[in-house]
């Protein structure tokens, strides 16, 4: 029988016929890299437009472009020979990425870049471009929706002298107590409140209370750690 009947035969055939590397032409490589770069830049602009975190990282955003191109290169490489594919799987299995991702949406962008790179490396350009356009439009649409009530953290640091006045004013507000820290000379309250508009005049009212050391109003994005 001339057909490959077992994995061992397939492995031997892949080792003996190394000319399989020539199956990917230079034109295919160039087209794949250009397509992956174009989609990576599309991801770059979508991420910059829809970013809602605290500090925008240019290097992190650029990594999506490079991740798309590198993934396409890997797929084009391992698709030529089964030995390389097995070796690549073994090599990547020992890699450990320890960069902390604070925003769960950043993981979505990572998978988007990897998926687009896989599609470009496999020459599935309609899937790569159509899927990326759909994901990008969904992200832009969802990020453009206005949140009716913006969450904020309201931090009040005061002495025991101002406790009664602060409790009286807080009864007029809707809030959730996140933490309370009691020290020898002051008390610190961290409250979660929601504002329908940008009216923050109440911050000055609390600051004017006798015994209040300082107050702070922070837009709550989930990155705050008490």
CATH number of 150-219: 3.20.20.220, 3.30.465.10, 3.90.1150.10, 3.30.70.260? 3.30.70.260
User: CA gyration radius for the chain?
Assistant: 28
Q: pLDDT for 80-97, tens place per residue?
A: 666 566 666 655 555 565
- pTM of structure: 0.62
Q: What is the structure's pLDDT at 113?
A: 93
CA separation for the pair 47, 188 (Å, rounded): 36
Q: What is the structure's pLDDT at 226?
A: 40
DSSP state of 21: G
CA separation for the pair 212, 210 (Å, rounded): 6
Q: Which helix (DSSP H) or strand (DSSP E) does residue 187 occupy?
A: strand 187-195
Q: pLDDT for 169-191, tens place per residue?
A: 888 888 888 888 888 888 898 88
| Contact by Cβ (8 Å): 48, 69 | no
Domain residue extents for the chain: 7-144, 150-219
- CA dihedral (20, 26, 28, 34) positive or negative: positive
pLDDT mean by block of 10 residues, the chain; 226 residues: 53 51 75 94 93 79 92 82 60 59 81 92 92 93 68 86 86 85 86 77 86 84 47
Strand partners of residue 158? 187, 212
Q: How far is CA 83 from the centre of its chain?
A: 34
Sheet containing strand 187-195, edge to edge, reads 175-182, 187-195, 150-158, 212-219
């Amino acid at each position: 029988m001339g057909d490959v009947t077992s994995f061992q035969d397939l492995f031997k055939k892949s080792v003996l016929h190394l000319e399989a590397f020539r199956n990917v032409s230079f034109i295919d490589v160039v087209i794949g890299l250009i397509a992956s770069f174009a989609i990576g830049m599309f991801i770059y602009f979508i991420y910059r437009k829809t970013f809602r975190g605290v500090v925008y990282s240019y290097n992190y955003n650029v990594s999506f472009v490079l991740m798309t191109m590198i993934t396409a290169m890997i797929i084009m490489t391992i698709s030529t020979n089964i030995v390389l594919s097995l070796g690549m799987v073994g090599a990547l299995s020992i890699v450990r990425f320890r960069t902390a991702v604070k925003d769960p949406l950043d993981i979505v962008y990572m998978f988007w870049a990897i998926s687009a790179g896989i599609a470009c490396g496999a020459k599935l350009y309609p899937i790569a471009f159509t899927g990326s356009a759909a994901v990008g439009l969904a992200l832009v649409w969802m990020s453009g929706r206005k949140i009716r009530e913006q969450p904020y953290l309201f931090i009040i640091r005061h002495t025991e002298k101002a406790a009664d006045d602060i409790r009286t004013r807080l009864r007029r507000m809707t809030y959730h107590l996140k933490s309370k820290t009691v020290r020898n000379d002051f008390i610190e309250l961290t409250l979660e409140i929601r504002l329908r508009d940008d009216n923050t005049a109440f911050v000055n009212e609390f600051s004017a209370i006798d015994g209040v050391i300082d107050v702070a109003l922070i837009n709550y994005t989930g990155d705050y750690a008490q």
